Structure 1
């Protein structure tokens, strides 16, 4: 039985007074606590040692204790103590860093390139120190670096995925724990080449850590609003490098852009040889006196979230039209640059036709009124084709980015969409005419895709039919499942189109299901689709989640086709509200 530890403020953990919850993940909950005037961040394992803990969260937190006890560095979170909560759950008392995560700092402080480099020089220094002691963090990302408000020092946090030499292996999957967006491309190559070897384990290297730092730096240099949740260009496809930073943001100094490209190289040998070398390269750039390094990475206006548009002010509603067209042009240009090929004349004509139609359909807006690329607006962003390293085309039977294979120790949770009653909605989206026009051009170009809401028909990943037969599952057998294992079975959850979720079979299923898909069975690689089309029962739309792998208790992961297709209770901006406790069916193929 899963032991959830979610405490309200006012209670105590081994004498520590709980002030508030700071974050929670699948393996631990973090609280701000106080004792004798001292404030700490207490990280509590979700399970007790003797609770049948299949995730080994107790053991993982014990390993984090070992790792942190080996480290003493001003840019690494400090260990302050450990113990057991009243329920028997193990906890760590950590330094409380009052600050912003790296992406929040970027948006709030509007740093220059020099200030960003100063932060990454400190990060590289801490990593070099850590690696010299044989320790690998394995989950470096923007959310796991906090900029302390008092002195602007970066602090690396969350060592729940860390490991050290001779450490026991706590993960059953082929890849180590971590966050997919920041994984090095060679991890996905390994997974593809060894997918038939159930016991194969990827050996995480310093080169993987350097790639993750490069991905973090790339996000800050190219994305004005890295805290926003929206489709982003894949950084770690084994086949295709990302767009160069200077192509995404012309402000980026050339030498800095070149360094980031080398850190994100498909070939680990082309990256800095270790974090000592990385530190020297970053420090050299930090010392650069050029005016381009003193410039803001992004104008503050690009980082300010626009207010909800007023239906009585149509000019402001069109403010982002030009930047959206520029963004589309940039994506097309990036595809051309990466492929090294020229677009066919017909495709170019089609895109030009789409842009021309967009300009014709909408009145012109002054160039001075520009919405930054990636801004939040009622118009869904036009996303590039899925080039994910785990997309079904290049890697059969695996889940699309950014699905967390095993995000151990994460304390990040997704907030539901804003209340749809907060402001009136327009009958027509401000960018709808433009989207229709661009869609015409894309259709003619035969290869340009927008945000996908309705899922395409799909066939099973390789081996899924054999899995079904081996598990004695019949085509269209139905199983009870919790759609998103981060939330309780009884909860109503908001699922956003493009999200990836993990489903789990709850306790209390029927005896017939318990024989073939018992409690604790996990469905992995779940991709969410939100279909805004009224159902026959009167629901405003549908939620479709298709899972591509399954892991029964004490068994290896295997490919599968498992689909949940249910009515949505509410829709808002590409997200849908539905019951988390639901049912899905096994299938050999699926049609919407």
Structure 2
């Protein structure tokens, strides 16, 4: 270990912080997973000491990062937990530890709907507005500097190593502040060209630069099925090279949302939202007015990678049953366009005649996730996309059964043999236009998460016939009948109550939290004469222990079906299984 390149071994102690392992490192600092008083934290240690010939001024940057974080207190911004110096003199900042995925990993692993992605960006814009009101600029917004916390899905802005604040000392000797090229606003490059002979010229980073970076992040999530891969991307900050709008690259993206993204990444900063407060309002208004076309994943999971990314903080949640080439999907779109138009007209007729329910209008309800394997967009955004560039990687593919049209009002069987693309087109049009039970999500059979069998047997000491009594969604009371949205994430918890056997509390004590997703399985369409709600929990966290992969399934009776959601009592027995049923 040297003064200029600090490496702390596992087991080392820094001011009472017990080092577990290294989490990552960059040009300015090394980050470690540490523990104190039984709780995990992240410890960010400067690479250089104050008097060590620090060319990059990493010590001064760490001082500024600590100062910046102490100015902020927001639920979507990483929180500091202390600061000091290691024995070598290197400064450190202790931070809350966020167990989560980067935005790119979350996109590939969880296959969020367009509505869910937009909801995340509403929170990010609000956090930036809070930050900017206090004179703080992050200056390095990108997909890896936002984490989605596993426990509650909240976005957390991290890594303030490039941040600055009003009246802060200028630490940069170059024309542009530190940052990542792809997320720099085009006016930064124009500044360099205009002042190339002025060695003391320094670009003044502005809120408009942050808005541009946030727009690039949103564009990438909406247009790229594999945003964790380091492949070629559409250039968005070249003033002379136009880029296609998001809905042209990905026909699933509604055009109004694509237009909003275009204002955020406008080459002319005066055409962007005036500040992040205004942007937050625009995003929120757009979210509140979004319709059924926002309730589908931005990309079909079949377009994304089947394997989990290294170091993503969890195992793949599913396996890929078969690839779906993008070229084939485009041909299916073209071949099915006429059928989609005809079916849309038919659906309109059925709705008028009262044979099927009206579309979902309650925008305050949790988002309904349609079957992710559909490769076609809604009719409103139907277009043949140009060839797209691949971009980053991780995650897994979840294949869901194609939704069925309900028996009532079902169109007569088409006698000719339909192509896969035409079938998908019919299912999507009927499901989105009708908002009916045909859009239910059915879990398919596939293997449990990697390592689940080993963790349940060796670490948790669970047996195949073990059952755990759970509050299915810890946001509600145990006896309450609540609405579950198929495809939505739920967190179950073992309650503290009498009547549970001794073994139950030995291997899954009160407070044990189960993480998973809700599904709607039964063909009974929500009647109370058989199981309909299925929850698959793929992760568990016992009190005081680390999170582990598991296979636990809960089946419960349903008491209603409405607007794509199923009503069930908020309790049930979870069965330990070795394969999803």
Superposition TM-score, scaled by structure 1 size = 0.53
Name the CA shift for 1:209/1:318 in 2 (closer, same or farther; >3 Å). closer
- Shift of the alpha carbon at 1:35? 1.3
1:81 aligns with 2:86: no
CA–CA distance in structure 2, aligned partners of residues 321 and 109 of structure 1: 20
1:322 corresponds in structure 2 to 327
- Shift of the alpha carbon at 1:305? 3.3
* RMSD between superposed Cα atoms in Å: 3.0
**Would you say the 8 A contact 2:211–2:264 is kept in 1?**
yes
Name the CA shift for 1:226/1:202 in 2 (closer, same or farther; >3 Å). same
Please give the residue correspondences for 1:448-459 in structure 2 after superposition, counting only pairs within 5 Å.
Answer: none
1:69 aligns with 2:70: yes
1:106 corresponds in structure 2 to 107
CA displacement, residues 153-189 of structure 1 (integer Å, 9 cap, x when unaligned): 0010000000011111001110111101000000011
CA displacement, residues 345-371 of structure 1 (integer Å, 9 cap, x when unaligned): xxxxxxxxxxxxxxxxxxxxxxx999x
CA displacement, residues 274-332 of structure 1 (integer Å, 9 cap, x when unaligned): 0011001100111124111111111111123379xxxxxxxx99974836998xx9xxx
1:250 corresponds in structure 2 to 251
CA–CA distance in structure 2, aligned partners of residues 275 and 112 of structure 1: 24
2:60 corresponds in structure 1 to 59
2:45 corresponds in structure 1 to 44
CA–CA distance in structure 2, aligned partners of residues 9 and 218 of structure 1: 39
- Shift of the alpha carbon at 1:243? 1.2
CA–CA distance in structure 1, aligned partners of residues 213 and 219 of structure 2: 10
- Shift of the alpha carbon at 1:36? 1.3
CA–CA distance in structure 1, aligned partners of residues 184 and 163 of structure 2: 14
**Would you say the 8 A contact 2:302–2:324 is kept in 1?**
no
1:218 aligns with 2:219: yes
Secondary structure of 1:152's counterpart equals: coil
- Shift of the alpha carbon at 1:222? 0.2
**Would you say the 8 A contact 1:80–1:93 is kept in 2?**
yes
Secondary structure of 1:260's counterpart equals: helix
Which structure 2 residue ranges, 5 or more long, are not aligned? 309-320, 335-372, 376-386, 395-581
- Shift of the alpha carbon at 1:225? 0.6
Please give the residue correspondences for 1:126-275 in structure 2 after superposition, counting only pairs within 5 Å.
Answer: 126-275=127-276
**Would you say the 8 A contact 2:300–2:374 is kept in 1?**
no
CA–CA distance in structure 1, aligned partners of residues 324 and 80 of structure 2: 49
Please give the residue correspondences for 1:366-385 in structure 2 after superposition, counting only pairs within 5 Å.
Answer: none
CA–CA distance in structure 2, aligned partners of residues 132 and 325 of structure 1: 45
CA–CA distance in structure 2, aligned partners of residues 320 and 125 of structure 1: 38
Name the CA shift for 1:162/1:180 in 2 (closer, same or farther; >3 Å). same
- Shift of the alpha carbon at 1:57? 0.3
CA–CA distance in structure 1, aligned partners of residues 326 and 93 of structure 2: 50
Secondary structure of 2:43's counterpart equals: strand
CA–CA distance in structure 2, aligned partners of residues 248 and 270 of structure 1: 22
Name the CA shift for 1:49/1:293 in 2 (closer, same or farther; >3 Å). same
Name the CA shift for 1:258/1:321 in 2 (closer, same or farther; >3 Å). closer
2:14 corresponds in structure 1 to 13
Secondary structure of 2:279's counterpart equals: helix
**Would you say the 8 A contact 1:188–1:238 is kept in 2?**
no
Which structure 1 residue ranges, 5 or more long, are not aligned? 308-315, 330-367, 371-381, 385-401, 403-411, 416-592
**Would you say the 8 A contact 1:320–1:369 is kept in 2?**
no
CA–CA distance in structure 2, aligned partners of residues 323 and 234 of structure 1: 26
**Would you say the 8 A contact 1:23–1:31 is kept in 2?**
yes
- Shift of the alpha carbon at 1:136? 0.4
**Would you say the 8 A contact 1:207–1:274 is kept in 2?**
yes
2:429 corresponds in structure 1 to none
Please give the residue correspondences for 1:381-396 in structure 2 after superposition, counting only pairs within 5 Å.
Answer: none
CA–CA distance in structure 2, aligned partners of residues 216 and 383 of structure 1: 17
- Shift of the alpha carbon at 1:231? 1.2
2:293 corresponds in structure 1 to 292
Name the CA shift for 1:194/1:324 in 2 (closer, same or farther; >3 Å). farther
In the comparison of the two structures, how many residue pairs are matched? 332
1:450 corresponds in structure 2 to none
CA–CA distance in structure 2, aligned partners of residues 130 and 40 of structure 1: 23
Name the CA shift for 1:325/1:12 in 2 (closer, same or farther; >3 Å). same
1:517 corresponds in structure 2 to none
1:364 corresponds in structure 2 to none
